[in-house]
Copies of this chain bind each other. A is one copy, B any other.
């Protein structure tokens, strides 16, 4: 087996803004134990070289010419799953954050951070963490929480929950030890309260409003 300096963290950058990219390169290389192996201004070039660059950490922008960062994260994870990817962007948009995390990002920083935070973040992700900006962490945690102003009763919520897991009325009845007809009544009431007329609509609305 060849020698590997485990304390040297190899970093790739994917960032189209020349100023920011070069700034990051300098900042990181100043740091003992960090080595920026390559810096790209687009995903395509990065993806062509990731397997030879063998980065431990990738700092990836989202808004990029050509392929966007989300797609870039997905592809990176497919061909070089070993890399830890930290998104560095100006966007604090909910949707983008979740897409990035689903695609495989291991951290998410906004560009308004103090530059020292970048250093910490890289150490953090190599140490088994998931560096996030304050607001991002809040977004992520909030995504687990349910709406406390649900129009549905707790029993109705329970029924809808099971319905959303693909259970049939009979399944639900068994699971809750009630009659199938009772389940039907609950579902009728759910539809009435949510102003929908089908399972799919009910689940969609319930998901969007975080009722389940």
> Per-residue CB proximity of A130-153 to B under 8 Å, as 1/0?
111011011011101110100000
Query: What's the nearest-Cβ distance from chain B to residue A128, in Å?
Result: 6
Of the stretches A37-45, A47-55, A198-206, the one at the interface is A198-206
For A102, the closest partner residue in chain B by CB is B144
Interface centre among A107, A137, A140, A207, by most chain B C-beta atoms within 10 angstroms, is: A137
List chain B residues, Cβ under 8 A from A203: 165-166
Q: Known contacts being A127-B134, A200-B171, is A101 close to B166, with CB within 8 Å?
A: no
Query: What's the nearest-Cβ distance from chain B to residue A175, in Å?
Result: 10
Whether the pair A128, B132 counts as a contact (CB closer than 8 A) is: no
Q: How many chain A residues touch the partner (CB < 8 A)?
A: 42
Whether the pair A141, B138 counts as a contact (CB closer than 8 A) is: no
Taken together, the copies of this chain in the complex come to: 2
Q: Known contacts being A166-B200, A166-B203, A200-B166, is A101 close to B135, with CB within 8 Å?
A: no
Whether the pair B130, A138 counts as a contact (CB closer than 8 A) is: yes
Query: What's the nearest-Cβ distance from chain B to residue A35, in Å?
Result: 23
A102–B161 CA distance with the chains assembled, in angstroms: 14
List chain B residues, Cβ under 8 A from A129: 134-135, 137-138
8 Å CB interface, A113-137 against B: 124, 127-132, 134-135, 137
8 Å CB interface, A157-176 against B: 163-168, 171
A145–B130 CA distance with the chains assembled, in angstroms: 13
Contacts beyond the supplied A124-B134, A137-B137, A166-B166: 6 A-B pairs with Cβ under 8 Å: A102-B144, A129-B134, A129-B138, A164-B166, A165-B207, A167-B200
Residues of A within 8 A of B (CB): 77-78, 81, 98, 101-102, 104-107, 124, 127-132, 134-135, 137-138, 140-142, 144-146, 148, 163-168, 171, 198-200, 202-204, 207
Can you name 8 A-B pairs with beta carbons within 8 Å? Answer: A81-B148, A102-B145, A127-B134, A128-B135, A130-B138, A163-B166, A165-B204, A166-B200
